[in-house]
Amino acid sequence: MEKELRLNTFQDLLYYFPYKHIDRTRLFYIHELTADMPFVQIKGEILSFEEKGVGRKRHLIAHFTDGKHVMDLVWFQSAAIKWARKQYHTGIIYIVFGRPTVFNGRINIAHPDIDPADSLSLSSMGLQPYYHTTERMKKSGMESRSIERFTKTLLEKLNGSTAVESQKAPMITVNETLPEWLIRRHALMPLGQSLRAMHYPLSADELRRATYRQKFEELFFIQLNIVRYTRARQQQSRGHIFRVVGNYFNTFYKEYLPFQLTGAQKRVIREIHKDLGCGRQMNRLLQGDVGSGKTLVALMTMLIALDNNYQACLMAPTEILAEQHAATFREFLKNMPVRVELLTGSVTGKRKRGPILEGVADGSVQILIGTHALIEDNVIFHNLGLAVIDEQHRFGVAQRGKLWKKNSIPPHILVMTATPIPRTLAMTLYGDLDVSVIDELPPGRKPIETLHFWEERSESLYRGIRQQVSLGRQIYVVYPLIKESEKIDLKNLEEGYALLCQTFPDMKISKVHGKMKPADKDAEMEKFASGETQILVATTVIEVGVNIPNASVMIIQNAERFGLAQLHQLRGRVGRGAEQSYCILVTKYQLSKETKNRIQTMCETNDGFEIAEADLRLRGPGDLEGTQQSGIAFDLHVANLARDGQLVQLARDTANYVLDNDPKQSLPGNAPMWRRLHELTKNQMDWSNIS
Ligand code: ADP
Ligand code: MG
């Protein structure tokens, strides 16, 4: 059992909570049963056995009576049949437990739990816990019931209700982990009671309150850790104070901004502006769906930096993106006296690099755009005040840190991401960042139409491709690329490419994948970007940020193999021009329920946040991209970031309150809480050392 469930200590067992409880206080009569009831129990005896069917249809029926009426108990599969015949007998009073169904007009229960009535004392069973066990454990006879016996014994000791203290097992005491005042303030159940009630609640209400306490505790310690860390960092890191909004910003805003800002853009700029003036280093995550206008917000934020005589830089994850950003910035700023330079790995040689590096060092380069090249040691800024990082998940925390070190006072940091993360998750994963959200698209966008095609329907797919290309549009065709099956994936891509070349001999088709040399890759991308080729066959290398407004169709092959977030990212590559855009999800015919759900979600909504919520529901937060490295400190057992959003907020507020009142972590009443936090963070370290 230890190996299978990682239950090494009494503590582990104590926190191994059941996944459900079933009310075993009430007995039903057969005439009361209907097929829509959950679990029920009936007292009675078996009248006779009967075997029916052959082969796979073979089953055993026990005719069971409560003294007035008769129902069937049924077993399928020969092992179960054999076992039931050996185990159960006529003429004994049993308590039968299971979920009733109706078959051929008769009530029956398949594979019921059966206990001799005299071995159960129902009144003391109350709400019976059900524990998860693994297949291996079940095979060796280790069922939920066995765990129940362990927890029962353990809790009896805890309660001190057994008179005899065992010599073998040490007595356990639980120390309250939350301060008295906090328990009172939020009317929480004390820890000892809640641990007992999680396993053996006296009522459904007690179970609910125990669960609440456990959830709160899990979320609270996560937030306490985050808030503590954030405050420590804020104290250390003073920030540049951008006092004025001056000529650069105002001139751009009044004279050259080619459109109205959306309400969301205005709000976010206000939020950022407030941060920039407060004397602390800004560390803000800017979230917004693809095309929501984050880049423009970044640009205007940079202009505020320039207004205060600071430099600004923007770091993009790829060269293509860096080049695109540079082009965009130069276009927006073409009528203003702002020096924008690009620094990437391809900007090589003393002659090209020298002047840029000099300009960065003497301050004449006001905006520097680039890739990782920006954080090389030879890039020395005169006075870097703001660093914008595009697409969070490609840069690790360490790289962010490196940017800070570029100046004695670290620059303000704005991280832009198009991967929408539900707020509660962001608060937990990126807890040290403040979050701004652009939740509104610029007006006039035509929503992308998303369609689902089976692999077999390639004829109509080809017709669609031909039609769009004849209208002058360009098309992406994306194949999955997963490390384990890289060979097969590349073969798929090559075959797909060959098939398209054969089907459309009159079209020019580009091909890009991760195994190509960067220079070749860029050359192919460039051909597509310039409109020389009409179709781009690619692996997910194009996922991030590429902006080709004329490309209006995104065809995703083997869409069943992509997660929701990734599908949405890919879809975001189209819909950037004025034309109606399409996203075509091509899948095989047989799909799991979850996959169908994902595809359906994609077809129904374009809203990134809705998709992120659905993703969180379907997969759970543990799977979300970046969860591992982002370091959510402790495992969640009871709480669920998708469902318990309000509690996350309460936990955050409470953590802030605690640190407001006990900034030195020295109030005696809070000591057990801080001790618990250290315990938890210590475990966290141990884990990371092991893995
Ligand atoms: P993101 O970086 O969030 O994906 P961008 O900043 O690249 O989005 O904006 C996408 C497109 O929308 C760009 O062509 C940009 O110029 C345009 N855009 C941005 N804000 C607005 C606005 N308020 N009104 C109209 N168009 C806008
Ligand atoms: Mg962008």
The pLDDT of 372-390, averaged and rounded, is 89
Determine the distance separating the centroid of ligand 2 and the alpha carbon of 294, expressed in angstroms.
Answer: 6
From the number of C-beta atoms within 10 Å of its C-beta (0-12, 13-18, 19+), residue 629 rates as exposed
Kindly tell me if the per-residue pLDDT of 141 is higher than 80: no
Task: Give rounded-to-5 percent helix, strand, coil for the chain.
Answer: 45, 20, 35
SS3 at position 54? coil
From CA 595, how far away is CA 600, in angstroms rounded?
A: 8
Q: What confidence tier does 139 reach under pLDDT thresholds 50, 70, 90?
A: low
Q: What confidence tier does 665 reach under pLDDT thresholds 50, 70, 90?
A: very high
Contacts 24+ apart (CB under 8 A), 72-78: 72/103, 72/106, 72/107, 72/108, 72/109, 73/46, 73/98, 73/108, 73/109, 73/110, 73/112, 73/114, 74/103, 74/108, 74/109, 74/110, 74/111, 75/110, 75/111, 76/110, 76/111
Q: Which residue CA neighbors atom 5 of ligand 1 most closely?
A: 293
SS3 at position 115? strand
Instruction: State whether the beta carbon of 575 lies less than 6 angstroms from ligand 1.
Output: no
Q: Higher-confidence residue: 76 or 585?
A: 585
Determine the distance separating the centroid of ligand 2 and the alpha carbon of 291, expressed in angstroms.
Answer: 6
Q: Higher-confidence residue: 118 or 580?
A: 580
Phi, psi of 487 (to 5 degrees): -60, -50
Sign of CA dihedral 120, 125, 128, 133: negative
Strand order in the sheet with 551-556: 449-454, 582-587, 551-556, 474-478, 535-538, 509-512
Kindly tell me if the per-residue pLDDT of 313 is higher than 50: yes
Kindly tell me if the per-residue pLDDT of 293 is higher than 80: yes
Which pLDDT value is given to residue 188? 95
Instruction: State whether the beta carbon of 608 lies less than 6 angstroms from ligand 1.
Output: no
**Closest ligand 1 atom to Cα of 288:** 3
Pick the range with the lowest mean pLDDT from 17-26, 427-436, 645-654: 427-436
**Closest ligand 1 atom to Cα of 294:** 3
Give the number of residues written for the chain: 691
Kindly tell me if the per-residue pLDDT of 41 is higher than 80: yes
Q: What confidence tier does 154 reach under pLDDT thresholds 50, 70, 90?
A: confident
Which pLDDT value is given to residue 249? 97
The pLDDT of 300-325, averaged and rounded, is 92
Pick the range with the lowest mean pLDDT from 118-127, 464-473, 551-560: 118-127
Pick the range with the lowest mean pLDDT from 163-167, 392-396, 423-427: 163-167
Q: Higher-confidence residue: 67 or 688?
A: 67
Which pLDDT value is given to residue 688? 30
Which pLDDT value is given to residue 11? 79
Instruction: State whether the beta carbon of 290 lies less than 6 angstroms from ligand 1.
Output: yes
Determine the distance separating the centroid of ligand 1 and the alpha carbon of 292, expressed in angstroms.
Answer: 6
Looking at the DSSP assignment, which residues form a beta bridge with residue 512?
538
As residues whose CB is below 5 A from the ion ligand 2, the structure lists 295
Instruction: State whether the beta carbon of 259 lies less than 6 angstroms from ligand 1.
Output: yes
Q: What confidence tier does 685 reach under pLDDT thresholds 50, 70, 90?
A: very low
| Most confident stretch, 416-420, 512-516, 541-545 | 512-516
SS3 at position 103? strand
The pLDDT of 95-124, averaged and rounded, is 84
Kindly tell me if the per-residue pLDDT of 260 is higher than 70: yes
Closest listed residue to residue 445, CA positions, set 291, 258, 555: 291
Determine the distance separating the centroid of ligand 1 and the alpha carbon of 290, expressed in angstroms.
Answer: 9
Kindly tell me if the per-residue pLDDT of 445 is higher than 70: yes
34 and 56 in contact (C-beta within 8 Å)? no
Mean pLDDT rounded to a whole number for the chain: 84
Q: Which residue CA neighbors atom 27 of ligand 1 most closely?
A: 442
Which pLDDT value is given to residue 93? 94
Determine the distance separating the centroid of ligand 1 and the alpha carbon of 426, expressed in angstroms.
Answer: 23
Q: Which residue CA neighbors atom 17 of ligand 1 most closely?
A: 293
From CA 342, how far away is CA 318, in angstroms rounded?
A: 12
Ligand nearest to the CA of 286: 1
From CA 279, how far away is CA 599, in angstroms rounded?
A: 47
Q: What confidence tier does 474 reach under pLDDT thresholds 50, 70, 90?
A: very high
Ligand nearest to the CA of 321: 2
Pick the range with the lowest mean pLDDT from 74-88, 176-190, 343-357: 343-357
Pair of tokens at residue 37:
């009831």
Q: Which residue CA neighbors atom 6 of ligand 1 most closely?
A: 293
What pTM did the predictor assign?
Answer: 0.62
Kindly tell me if the per-residue pLDDT of 545 is higher than 80: no
**Closest ligand 1 atom to Cα of 438:** 3
Kindly tell me if the per-residue pLDDT of 19 is higher than 90: no
Q: Higher-confidence residue: 18 or 143?
A: 18
Q: Which residue CA neighbors atom 11 of ligand 1 most closely?
A: 291
Domain boundaries 247-438, CATH class: alpha beta
Which pLDDT value is given to residue 690? 29
Instruction: State whether the beta carbon of 294 lies less than 6 angstroms from ligand 1.
Output: yes
Which of 261, 296, 320 maximizes ligand 1 atoms within 8 Å of its Cβ, making it the mutation to test the pocket? 296
Kindly tell me if the per-residue pLDDT of 513 is higher than 70: yes
Percentage of the chain lying above the pLDDT 90 cut: 43
Q: Which residue CA neighbors atom 23 of ligand 1 most closely?
A: 261
Phi, psi of 113 (to 5 degrees): -85, 130
**Closest ligand 1 atom to Cα of 293:** 6
Determine the distance separating the centroid of ligand 1 and the alpha carbon of 329, expressed in angstroms.
Answer: 12
Q: What confidence tier does 174 reach under pLDDT thresholds 50, 70, 90?
A: confident
Right CATH for 2-154 from 3.30.70.270, 3.30.300.10, 2.40.50.140, 3.50.50.60:
2.40.50.140
Q: What confidence tier does 20 reach under pLDDT thresholds 50, 70, 90?
A: confident
Tokens 């929501």, residue located: 292
Kindly tell me if the per-residue pLDDT of 21 is higher than 90: no
Q: What confidence tier does 420 reach under pLDDT thresholds 50, 70, 90?
A: low
- The structural domains of the chain, with segments of one domain joined by +, span 2-154, 247-438, 449-605
Q: What confidence tier does 160 reach under pLDDT thresholds 50, 70, 90?
A: low
Pick the range with the lowest mean pLDDT from 260-269, 402-411, 527-536: 402-411
**Strand 384-390 to strand 449-454: parallel, antiparallel, or no bridges (unpaired)?**
unpaired
Ligand nearest to the CA of 331: 1
SS3 at position 420? coil
The pLDDT of 288-312, averaged and rounded, is 94
Pick the range with the lowest mean pLDDT from 79-83, 139-143, 540-544: 540-544
Which pLDDT value is given to residue 162? 40
Determine the distance separating the centroid of ligand 1 and the alpha carbon of 269, expressed in angstroms.
Answer: 14
Check if 2-154 and 449-605 are the same fold.
no
Which pLDDT value is given to residue 357? 94
Determine the distance separating the centroid of ligand 1 and the alpha carbon of 475, expressed in angstroms.
Answer: 21
Which pLDDT value is given to residue 620? 61
Q: Higher-confidence residue: 122 or 190?
A: 190
Right CATH for 449-605 from 3.40.50.2300, 3.40.50.300, 3.40.630.30, 3.40.30.10:
3.40.50.300
Which pLDDT value is given to residue 163? 35
Contacts 24+ apart (CB under 8 A), 482-491: 482/561, 489/539, 490/515, 490/539
616 and 640 in contact (C-beta within 8 Å)? no
